[in-house]
Amino acid sequence: MGRAFEFRKARKMKRWAAMSKAFTRIGKDIVMAVKEGGPDPDANSKLRAVIQNAKAVNMPKDNIERAIKRATDKNQGDYKEVLFEGYAPHGIAILIETATDNNTRTVANIRSYFNKCNGSLGTSGSVEFMFDHTCNFTINGEGIDPEELELELIDFGAEEVFVDEDGIHIYAPFENFGSIQKELESREIEIISSGFERIPQVTKELSEEEVADVEKLLEKIEEDDDVQNVFHSMQE
């Protein structure tokens, strides 16, 4: 199994995927998707993907419909996606994806977390190159041969296909998301969820005490309402 498989296995254990946080993240994703491509999922592939993700975490249908309706309100502000880069203690690289309606607040908060936990907020490009920006799909594997599917999806950019109890997982470079989504939909394959992840090219093993230092910073960052995702180079 490749790096995507190991990465997914580790992240499945993460506590930040608590439902309340997932609902908040997806609510923002819906707003951004609607603002970008309109409220009709049939005509907006990005919104279709977000709705699939909402269903995958059991977000109630009413919540999804309310979020779409709210996003179409002209008084609803838009969220700006901002990427933060830095180092936790012990040389662990951190990438933070945020969606914010007040960048000044977000910058101040993120900087304060690094300062309080002996980390350092970096400049743009300082650690992003250490991570591979990937897209991923989880599909219903019923009646599908994963090895055959992998061979067929190579032409669309798929690099790794594997199976677990949740279904068949497909990983590819970030820029191949649209072509793979289109191909899966054209074959009427059920997409359970999809998304984007930043997989560290190299991970670093830490002692128990050092892990605790890094976890302290990660917890503060993950609790922030503006934060959508956190990626790091610590071995898990």
Question: How far apart are the C-alpha atoms of 200 and 111, rounded to whole Å?
Answer: 22
Per-residue model confidence as pLDDT tens digits over 30-52: 999 999 999 999 999 999 999 99
Name every residue whose Cβ is closer than 8 Å to that of residue 129 and which is 6 or more positions away in sequence: none
Average pLDDT over residues 106-131: 97
Task: Provide the residue count of the chain.
Answer: 236
The phi, psi pair for 74, rounded to 5°, reads -65, -20
Bridge-partner residues for 89, per DSSP? none
Name the helix (H) or strand (E) containing 31: helix 19-37
Question: How far apart are the C-alpha atoms of 149 and 156, rounded to whole Å?
Answer: 11
pLDDT bin (cut points 50, 70, 90) of residue 75 is confident
Inter-CA distances, 97 with 12, 146, 153, 196, 203, Å: 18, 31, 28, 11, 19
The torsion defined by the Cα of 190, 193, 196 and 197, in degrees rounded to 10, comes to -120
* In the predicted structure, residue 231 carries a pLDDT above the cut 70: yes
**Domains defined along the chain, listed by start:** 3-72 (1.10.10.200), 80-128+203-232 (3.30.70.980), 130-200 (3.30.70.980)
The owner of tokens 């359970």 is 192
Inter-CA distances, 183 with 51, 137, 164, 176, Å: 18, 12, 22, 11
pLDDT of 20: 67
Per-residue model confidence as pLDDT tens digits over 96-109: 999 999 999 999 99
Strand-strand pairing, 167-173 and 227-232: unpaired
* In the predicted structure, residue 187 carries a pLDDT above the cut 70: yes
What pTM was computed for the model?
0.88
Other CB atoms within 10 Å distance of the CB of residue 171: 25
Strand-strand pairing, 120-121 and 80-88: antiparallel
* In the predicted structure, residue 14 carries a pLDDT above the cut 90: no
CA angle 215, 219, 220 (to 5 degrees): 120
